[in-house]
């Protein structure tokens, strides 16, 4: 939750609440105050309904002395019709509900959260902030999915996601070095959801995710890009339905599927010496990220800055190091001492490419967007 006068900067964060491990026995809510002090509460997170109920109760308790004047909620996608932030209305909720099946992990939960927040804070205007908006104006050639043209009129295109994270990184990099922010950038958002984006002269030109957030590189439990023939094979060999395939590629694949153990990178790193499948999952993840950096550098015609963010990107020196191994041909060279200490700049002084860590703050991106809307 944030506090700010409409015409003043900066926005002040009052507290931060995170709900983690929904659906697992160790579901918990992490609460951080404005001073960085945190507490962890074990909650009933057996399913989304229970988790959201607990979350709303805590928000209500914390908001007693800071009743909201507006609420912004992240929506992964708005389809072909919604690509700018919008006030939440019944029509908007209906339209987003109609496309929720394309994103089973996010949209329905966001709509549920909006409904519960409406009950907790009646009369407070809510806004939908779209994660795909940052990539709405990708170059035409980067939008096209090579299927029959007639489907494009119904919204078949590469949308791109994690836009709130990338817009925040771009604004932060401008504060650090404005000239660098206008160069050839590759941002790597590596967490349970993972993607990379190419930005040139302050504008996105491509990214790894396309029509849904399950595309691109492998993730914690999402498959990333697949050969279309896999669908036919699994259907004919095992009788897997479209619904089962969608669930598998969103919730049972990626690191979790390859390792057979977990989708958590720290768990896999701890296990890789004794479990070859855990080691293989980690190696595949780093390999795919490294390939994506190469592909995006080709789209950019080179790279000046490589920025890591997200839980894995910010916290795992080992993963950053393994990703950058073999990228010397691009002029990327890490300073392993700086990398191990998670410093802001982790590239070697002789590196032709500046490599940085910038912590993500998607909530602040949402707060800034809401502030502009209510202005």
- Looking at the chain, the whole-number percentage of residues with pLDDT higher than 90 is 69
Residues 191 and 329 in one domain: yes
- Tokens matching residue 15: 């507290």
**Rama region for 140: left / alpha / beta (φ>0; ψ in -120 to 50; rest):** alpha
Residues 284 and 230 in one domain: yes
Residue 23 is predicted with a pLDDT of: 60
Residues 128 and 222 in one domain: no
Q: d(Cα 75, Cα 184) in Å, to the nearest integer?
A: 28
Nearest to 313 by CA among 321, 301, 305: 321
Cβ neighbours of residue 299 closer than 8 Å, sequence gap 6 or more: 142, 198, 205, 206
Residues 151 and 217 in one domain: no
- Tokens matching residue 62: 């914390």
The residues assigned a catalytic role are 131
Residues 261 and 154 in one domain: no
Helices (H), the chain: 48-62, 90-98, 107-120, 140-143, 163-176, 178-181, 229-238, 242-251, 254-259, 265-271, 276-300, 310-315, 317-324, 336-340, 362-374
Residues 186 and 335 in one domain: yes
Residues 352 and 228 in one domain: yes
Residue 280 is predicted with a pLDDT of: 98
Q: Residue 169 falls within a domain, yes or no?
A: no
Residues 146 and 211 in one domain: no
Residues 39 and 135 in one domain: yes
Which residue bears the tokens 């990379």? 196
Say which residue, 146 or 44, is predicted with more confidence: 146
Domain boundary among 103, 131, 159: 159
Q: Residue 367 falls within a domain, yes or no?
A: no
Cβ neighbours of residue 190 closer than 8 Å, sequence gap 6 or more: 289, 308, 309, 310, 311, 312, 313, 319
Q: d(Cα 332, Cα 319) in Å, to the nearest integer?
A: 15
Q: Residue 201 falls within a domain, yes or no?
A: yes
Please determine, for residue 258, whether its predicted confidence score (pLDDT) is greater than 70.
yes
**Domain hosting residue 24, numbered range:** 2-159
Please determine, for residue 68, whether its predicted confidence score (pLDDT) is greater than 90.
no
DSSP 134: G
Q: Residue 372 falls within a domain, yes or no?
A: no
User: What is the tens place of the pLDDT at every residue in 247-257?
Assistant: 999 999 999 99
Residue 137 is predicted with a pLDDT of: 95
Least confident interval from 26-35, 187-196, 237-246, 343-352: 26-35
User: What is the tens place of the pLDDT at every residue in 292-304?
Assistant: 999 999 999 999 9
Please determine, for residue 65, whether its predicted confidence score (pLDDT) is greater than 80.
no
Which residue bears the tokens 């966001």? 110
Residue 12 is predicted with a pLDDT of: 79
Q: Residue 374 falls within a domain, yes or no?
A: no
Domain boundary among 112, 130, 159: 159
Residues 121 and 182 in one domain: no
The pLDDT-based confidence of 52 (bands split at 50, 70, 90) is confident
Q: Residue 170 falls within a domain, yes or no?
A: no
Residues 102 and 211 in one domain: no
Q: What is the CA radius of gyration of the chain?
A: 21
Q: What's the total number of domains in the chain?
A: 2
**Cβ 160 vs Cβ 135: under 8 Å:** yes
Please determine, for residue 6, whether its predicted confidence score (pLDDT) is greater than 50.
no
Q: Residue 121 falls within a domain, yes or no?
A: yes
- Strands 203-207 and 194-200, how do they pair? antiparallel
Please determine, for residue 67, whether its predicted confidence score (pLDDT) is greater than 90.
no
Q: Residue 168 falls within a domain, yes or no?
A: no
Residue 264 is predicted with a pLDDT of: 93
Domain boundary among 129, 159, 189: 159
Residues 136 and 191 in one domain: no
For residue 249, the domain's CATH number is 3.30.420.40
């Amino acid at each position: 939750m944030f506090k700010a006068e409409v015409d003043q900067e900066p926005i002040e964060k009052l507290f931060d609440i995170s709900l983690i491990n929904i659906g697992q026995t160790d579901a918990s809510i992490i609460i951080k105050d404005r001073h960085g002090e945190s507490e962890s509460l074990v909650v009933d997170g057996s399913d989304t309904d229970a988790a959201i109920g607990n979350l709303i109760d805590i928000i209500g308790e914390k908001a007693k002395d800071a009743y909201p004047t507006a609420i912004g909620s992240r929506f992964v996608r708005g389809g072909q019709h919604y690509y700018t932030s919008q006030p939440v209305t019944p029509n908007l909720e209906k339209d987003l509900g109609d496309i929720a099946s394309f994103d089973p992990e996010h949209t329905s939960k966001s709509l549920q959260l909006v409904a519960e927040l409406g009950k907790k804070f009646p009369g407070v205007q809510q806004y939908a902030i779209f994660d795909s908006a940052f990539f709405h104006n990708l170059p035409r050639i980067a939008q096209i999915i090579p299927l029959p043209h007639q489907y494009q009129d119904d919204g078949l295109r590469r949308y791109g996601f994690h836009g709130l994270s990338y817009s925040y990184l771009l604004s932060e990099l401008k504060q650090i070095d404005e000239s660098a922010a206008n160069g050839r950038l590759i941002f790597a958002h590596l967490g349970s959801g993972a993607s990379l984006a190419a930005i040139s002269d302050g504008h996105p030109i491509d990214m790894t995710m396309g029509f849904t957030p399950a595309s691109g590189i492998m993730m914690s439990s999402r498959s990333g890009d697949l050969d279309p023939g896999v669908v036919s094979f699994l259907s004919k060999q095992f009788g897997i339905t479209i619904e089962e395939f969608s669930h598998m590629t969103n919730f049972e694949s990626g690191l979790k599927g390859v390792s057979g153990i977990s989708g958590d990178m720290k768990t896999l790193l701890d296990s890789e010496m004794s479990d070859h499948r855990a080691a293989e999952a980690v190696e595949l993840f780093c390999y795919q990220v490294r390939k994506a950096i190469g592909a995006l550098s080709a789209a950019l015609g080179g790279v000046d800055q490589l920025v890591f963010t997200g839980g894995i990107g910010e916290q795992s020196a080992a993963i950053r190091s393994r990703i950058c191994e073999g990228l010397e041909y691009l002029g990327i060279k890490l300073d392993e001492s700086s990398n191990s200490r998670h410093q802001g700049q982790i590239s070697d002084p002789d590196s032709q490419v500046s490599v940085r860590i910038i912590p993500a703050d998607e909530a602040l991106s949402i707060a800034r967007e809401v502030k502009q809307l209510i202005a």
